[in-house]
Amino acid sequence: MDIHNKTPRPLKISLPGGKVLRLGPGKTGQITAKASEHPPVKKLIEDGTIEIVGDGGTHGATGTSNDLGSSGGQGPSGPSGGGAMRRSGDR
Between CA 53 and CA 6 the distance in angstroms is 11
The whole-number pLDDT of residue 83 equals 56
- Residue 47 covered by a domain: yes
Is residue 15 domain-resident? yes
The answer to whether position 76 is within a domain reads: no
User: In which domain, by residue range, is 32 found?
Assistant: 2-57
In this structure, is residue 85 part of a structural domain?
no
- Residue 45: alpha-carbon gap to chain centroid: 20
Number of domains in the chain: 1
pLDDT tens for the 91 residues of the chain, in order: 899 999 999 999 999 999 999 999 999 999 999 998 999 999 999 999 999 987 755 444 444 344 444 445 555 555 555 556 777 778 7
Q: Does the residue 88 lie in any domain?
A: no
The answer to whether residue 34 is domain-embedded is yes
Contact present, 53 and 3 (Cβ < 8 Å) = yes
Q: How far apart are the C-alpha atoms of 67 and 50, rounded to whole Å?
A: 29
